[in-house]
Structure 1
Amino acid sequence: MLTHHVKQLDADKPTIILLHGFISDHTTFHLVEDDITNQGINVITVDLPGHGSDQSSYDEKWSMEFIANHIKKIVDYYQLKNVYLHGYSMGGRVALSFATQFPELLNGLILESASPGLANDEDKLSRIEVDHNRARYIQHVGMKQFVEEWSQLPLFKSQSMLSSEERERIKQMRLSQTPDGLSKALIDYGTGVQPSYWKALHALEVPTCIIVGSEDKKFIEIGKQMHESIKNSKFHIVNEAGHTIHVEQPTKFDTMIIDFILGGKLCQDNGKL
């Protein structure tokens, strides 16, 4: 079973499982947990393989199937019956993997700045090379330099608007990861090697909320395409946010999550976002 953290647990209440992105861990959701639990929703945050306090064996291949099976173990262990799965970025790819393998276990799916992977074999091979090179690079330069360079990626430009305290917290969270864990994560379940879920989207019947930030142009296009493929989905662009909506706009994030779980409103903002 993956290392996970339970905010509160009442098996009779709905539960949301939150999955973080690359070079992150369960603490990335510290701004949004309380408002969700205050509405009577159980929150479980997971440390994905190679991140946070995860104890997954390095002798195992951390494939998408491996991770999905371990998330299922969490659902089974707590005998959860009303489950919503959220995934951010890399965690969104994991969430889609779980949804395609165990749709009967989900009441809803939330995809934040997420992608179904690469559909083209040539693109996949190219990305595998990028992921392997990046894995070697992390080992070579160490966490301090890698975190500095990672933070400068255009994807995270909008985080410059966060408070200095939050930017420092994010930096320390990233620095707490390990080169070995991140390298294996890239090689075992990076974007290049993961299965493409584009074709599976048409068969997905789980109610799905797709959210992206208004400053995240690449994922706006990906989100639109996913929305067109998933019949029971709604697509929402969150204003004044980039790639990390749950960090940059936590109140808006909580509004959507709570309305989705308690009101059945897919990305419904009611003019509040």
Structure 2
Amino acid sequence: MLTHYVNDIDHNKPTVILLHGFISDHTTFHLIIDNIYKQNINVITIDLPGHGKDHSTHDVTWDMAYISKEIVEIIDYYKLSNVYLHGYSMGGRVALSVAVEYPNKLNGLILESASPGISNLNEKLNRIELDNIRAEKIKSIGIEAFVDEWSKMPLFDSQLSLSDVEKNRIKQMRLSQSPEGLAKSLTDYGTGNQPSNWKALHQLNIPTCILVGEYDEKFINIGQKMKQYINNSEFHIVNRAGHTIHVEQPEKFDTIIIDFILGGKLCQDNGKL
């Protein structure tokens, strides 16, 4: 079972499971958990394989089938029957894989800055090569140098407006990760190696909320395309946010999550927040 964190479970309440992104861990959700929990929603956070305090053995392949099964084990262990699965970026790819493989386990799906993977073979091969290069780089140059390079990616430019306290917290979280774990996560379930779920999107019938930040053009395009394929889905562009909505606009993120889970109308307006 994956390393996870949970308060007391009340089976009369819905549960949301939060999945973090690459070079991150469960602590990335520290700004949003309390507000969700106060709205009578159980919250479970998970350290995905290779991240945080995860203890997954390195002797097995951490593919999407393995991770999905591990997440379902948590759902079954706590006997949860009203589950909403959220995933951010890498965690969004995982969450979507769980939804495709185990749709009956979920009442709803929340995809934040997420992708179903790569369907084009040449693009897929190029991404596998890039993931492998990054995996080797983490081990060769060390975590500090890699974090410095990773933080300067244009994808995270919008994080420059965060407070110094939050920027330092994010940096320390990234520095605390295991180079070996991160490298294996890239080669085992990186964007290139994971199976593409584009063709499976039309089969999803569970309510799905797709969130993207207004500065994140690449994932706006991906999110809009996913909206066309997933029948029971809503699409939202969050103002003044980039790739990490839950960090850059935590109050707006909480509002969307809470209303979606509790049956509010916010996730039905398809507008900007």
Using structure 1 for the length normalisation, give the TM-score.
0.98
What is the aligned partner in structure 1 of residue 175 from structure 2? 175
Supply the AA of the counterpart residue of 1:115: S
8 Å CA contact 2:206–2:232 kept in 1: the answer is yes
What is the aligned partner in structure 2 of residue 138 from structure 1? 138
Quote the Cα distance in structure 2 between the aligned partners of 1:52 and 1:261.
27
8 Å CA contact 1:156–1:242 kept in 2: the answer is yes
Supply the AA of the counterpart residue of 2:31: L
What is the aligned partner in structure 1 of residue 116 from structure 2? 116
How do 1:202-241 and structure 2 match up within 5 A? 202-241=202-241
Quote the Cα distance in structure 2 between the aligned partners of 1:243 and 1:176.
21
What is the aligned partner in structure 2 of residue 106 from structure 1? 106
Q: Quote how far apart the aligned CAs of 1:267 are.
A: 2.4
Deviations, residues 154-177 of structure 1 (Å, cap 9, x unaligned) = 000000010000000000000000
Gaps of 5+ in 1: none
Q: Quote how far apart the aligned CAs of 1:271 are.
A: 8.3
8 Å CA contact 2:236–2:272 kept in 1: the answer is no
Q: Quote how far apart the aligned CAs of 1:12 are.
A: 1.7
> Are 1:77 and 2:77 matched, yes or no?
yes
Q: What count of residue pairs does the alignment treat as equivalent?
A: 273
What is the aligned partner in structure 2 of residue 194 from structure 1? 194
Q: Secondary structure at the match of 2:7?
A: strand
> Are 1:12 and 2:12 matched, yes or no?
yes
Q: Quote how far apart the aligned CAs of 1:11 are.
A: 1.6
Distance 1:95 1:270, change over 3 A: closer
8 Å CA contact 2:155–2:243 kept in 1: the answer is yes
Deviations, residues 40-60 of structure 1 (Å, cap 9, x unaligned) = 000000000000000000001
What is the aligned partner in structure 2 of residue 49 from structure 1? 49
Supply the AA of the counterpart residue of 2:130: V
8 Å CA contact 2:108–2:207 kept in 1: the answer is yes
What is the aligned partner in structure 2 of residue 184 from structure 1? 184
Gaps of 5+ in 2: none
Quote the Cα distance in structure 1 between the aligned partners of 2:265 and 2:147.
37
How do 1:59-78 and structure 2 match up within 5 A? 59-78=59-78
What is the aligned partner in structure 1 of residue 34 from structure 2? 34
Quote the Cα distance in structure 2 between the aligned partners of 1:155 and 1:192.
18
What is the aligned partner in structure 2 of residue 242 from structure 1? 242
Supply the AA of the counterpart residue of 1:48: L
Quote the Cα distance in structure 1 between the aligned partners of 2:270 and 2:91.
27
Using structure 2 for the length normalisation, give the TM-score.
0.98
Q: Quote how far apart the aligned CAs of 1:9 are.
A: 1.5
Moved over 3 A (4+): 268-272
Supply the AA of the counterpart residue of 2:102: F
Quote the Cα distance in structure 1 between the aligned partners of 2:7 and 2:235.
28
